[in-house]
Structure 1
């Protein structure tokens, strides 16, 4: 990102000549392809909120609980003046030591908050084990019905159904081949400079690198593990990667590797698979649109177990939410430590425009498949990422300011496991400004880009083909 683009993101709002706010009479800002709004009274600051379809009941509950928990945790973290626990040097991250705050205290697990978090983790583990126990009971009961009751009417059929349900709900290690289907997978021999950078970032937050990198067009990134041996994999969405400056890319990597060095209960094998099983139950027991008496009967019969599943899922998510959100704050602190506070805060801004970037990618895909713009360029995939970066760099400062204010009103989150984005940004700015441990020089950035060039071409062609 150029200095001009960075300056535009932090510039003050500029009124639009000849247009006034209908509520307070102040000159509005924005216009053209961007929303016109009033910086004085926030008129029209979030017009999209009126157009969005309301999410389902469970998702609304998730968002409400996540927003409340994020605000509460932010208040607790900023009650002192020190950094988020886990933002200490790599030695502390690797050994699990508490973070030293500017007050000189340490975030020990033995405090009231630590005891409460520890109790919640134990309860979550117990509840998750109970969920897996139900799956095991289904399998054992189904096997007994199938073997011991063979030839006794419909009992073996019910046994087979129970075994099928248990197989569907079983804990999974995951498969890289399935997760990376129709995506580009890079290994160390494919991109040695990229993996060297990943190893350096991982080492700076007290953890180790990854086994593979999966590249796609998403405006997101993430880390996960696959297989019984727990191979680590980085998912890199070019829709996000390509709109970031070199230091913001380091912040993104620091954040993702921060998840490895600062544990999250929801990412554990037991709890993570229990959440997956409960989600599967929810979809299986979801009520059907009643087209007759039979549908009404089925919905009535499945109502009690559906309510039980919903309640169990809500409880398990509530027990693990605090750990999940604290892990996000810690990962943000790791991002600031690796790439500097400015780059980590810039990454938060980029997350706010991710919907617009996704829309631009969709527009490129539709235009290519309908031949729109065909006269302008022979190959629509050529230069796609450069056009996307230019689109993001052209977003003016007043649009970033509007998105921040809209995010604060909505409690914008990447998803229900994340604290509100504006609080993550504010938390970064509350801490003492960190200087970057790693600086991605233009030469090194170009070398990494060169290794990603093949993946960029492949993903671009897949995108425009739809």
Structure 2
């Protein structure tokens, strides 16, 4: 069932305490004034945990406005393949990796040439152990993940291939299906095979062309490139993060703790400065790649599908809340009835989730869009603010979808994903209710 503005307006109304305008009242949603934004954001701002994540969010918000304005003026043309910031970022990444190389060389020399002292080999082994932690390593598929390959879901992979062709790239080698309200792509293994992470928490609440737009956005990262996703910079950021974690201060319980914290003060802040510098040099290009991936989403799934996708990203917190509510409701019933309630909760979980989110009125989406602008809502600390992404997608000339998602295709995909949907429903109800 879909709730419209008429259904919301059918509820009672009251005057806005700030400007006197009429405010519709609906018990399921926040009361707010569209005229003056009274009570548009009654909750506390999103937490910004971690100094590095907070700094990245500030950079993302600062660059976001500049980039969306520039892309609108240049009609979204691609950036130069190598600008000064990119070259500097690559230089810093090579410098970081050279430290790992020096640790390996130094460790080997100490082990091989220092046997007469007895101490040098121990130091050499320690250096090699540190280098092993910092070494670049290819990604791996997560353990115990629900992984689909081409033979498992031919219709899904055919859709991904078609979307990939529409955005100028090819498909993926594996799809990891989970319960998250998110999606992403990356590579795994020494051969750099492609994998897509597809969260049912997001997939199930999307309309047909929004699903195509989601695939277009994720595959667009491969077609447009992203210096931040390149192995040389990605692994350098990972190494710096390991250094930052290792050098983090410990509670000063003993005198030795104070000494160690003092000794690591300068290296710790030096590493932090390098992370910020590498972030600043790569984040602008990375954010631009996100906007270009959004353009790929509109090209594959239509402008309307891309804009609708941005709206659905604003309600991902409600997805988690709804899944938790379903699990808790099943847990409240004990005994045999409780077991039957869990089975019933598992059976129709994703359908009820889609119905609940599809029941959101346009007025609530408008409120969330305004909250997004106020808070600078981002999918994560490396994405542009969602309201700017939506603005950029909506400003593009309306275009038809290059890839269709009709009823027959929907039926095939539903059949292929049915085992994964059932398994993840059991996991969600068990985890949240346990």
Contact kept in structure 2, 1:13 and 1:39, CA below 8 Å: no
Distance 2:125 2:324 in 1: 44
Q: Counterpart in 1 of 2:68?
A: 74
**Residues 82-101 of structure 1: per-residue CA shift (max 9 Å, x gap):** 3x225xxxxxxxxxxxxxxx
Say which SS state the counterpart of residue 288 (structure 1) adopts: coil
Q: Which runs of 5+ in 2 are unaligned?
A: none
Q: Counterpart in 1 of 2:274?
A: 312
Q: Counterpart in 1 of 2:227?
A: 265
Distance 1:173 1:367 in 2: 42
- Counterparts of 1:33-432 in structure 2, within 5 Å, are 33-50=28-45, 52-80=46-74, 82=75, 84-85=76-77, 109=80, 118-150=83-115, 152=117, 154-176=119-141, 179=142, 181-369=143-331, 371=333, 374=338, 376=341, 378-432=343-397
Q: Which runs of 5+ in 1 are unaligned?
A: 87-106
Contact kept in structure 2, 1:324 and 1:417, CA below 8 Å: yes
**Residues 298-342 of structure 1: per-residue CA shift (max 9 Å, x gap):** 221111111011100111111111111111111110110111000
Contact kept in structure 2, 1:12 and 1:397, CA below 8 Å: no
TM value normalised by structure 2: 0.93
TM value normalised by structure 1: 0.86
Contact kept in structure 1, 2:15 and 2:23, CA below 8 Å: yes
Contact kept in structure 1, 2:8 and 2:26, CA below 8 Å: no
Say which SS state the counterpart of residue 37 (structure 1) adopts: coil
Contact kept in structure 1, 2:54 and 2:381, CA below 8 Å: no
Contact kept in structure 1, 2:13 and 2:25, CA below 8 Å: no
The CA deviation at 1:11 is 8.0
Contact kept in structure 1, 2:12 and 2:25, CA below 8 Å: no
List structure 1 segments (4+ residues) > 6 angstroms apart after TM superposition: 10-13
Paired positions, count: 428
**Residues 54-106 of structure 1: per-residue CA shift (max 9 Å, x gap):** 422222211111110111111211235x3x225xxxxxxxxxxxxxxxxxxxx
The CA deviation at 1:418 is 1.0
Q: Root-mean-square deviation (CA), in Å?
A: 2.2
Contact kept in structure 1, 2:12 and 2:26, CA below 8 Å: no
